[in-house]
Amino acid sequence: MEYTEVATVVFLVHGDTICLAQKKQNIHTKDGKELSKSSVWNGYGGKREPEDASIRDTAIRELFEESGVKALPDSLVPAGRFRFFWPGNNGPHASMEVYFFFLSTWEGTPEESAAMGKPAFFHIDSIPYEKMLPDNILFLPRLLQGERLVGDMYADRKDEQGLPLFIISDEELLV
């Protein structure tokens, strides 16, 4: 069985705003292919490490490393879980499984880090989707409206608008 990397993304939300920061490094697949240039806006997160006891531990660790913000595990609100199939992955195992969380209660002020640029709060009606990874427009508006989604994202396949193919599952979101 092929290995699927597990990662998290945490979006800080305050009222009708969301905190995003620009990534300082390029995003690559496991085999080194570049998925995205640096400078895309994103939430905070990263890959699960062996010392992480749970996916929530990964989210909290990555959030702190990338923003300086501290959070409690119970404060993380699960929003989505997506399996991403990178270009060239035509097999049954996803390249990456990413858990998305919202966080509205935290300690500290988000700051620039080695991994992420200066944070900015955007009104949810003014999120710069055109400067984010192209798949974010497919799910982030729905998550912000309260939908809890599980699905598969296929980078090699495109929908009728030329965006990555996103197939919603009827699986329950469990975290």
Residue 168, C-beta contacts closer than 8 angstroms, at least 6 positions apart? 149, 150, 151
More confident residue, 50 or 36: 50
Confidence of residue 6 (pLDDT cuts 50, 70, 90): very high
Give the predicted TM-score (pTM) of the model: 0.90
In angstroms, the CA 40 to CA 57 distance is 25
> Can you give the pLDDT at residue 93?
86
> Can you give the pLDDT at residue 65?
97
- Structural domains present in the chain: 5-168 (3.90.79.10)
Q: Name the pairing type of β-strands 27-28 and 34-36.
A: antiparallel
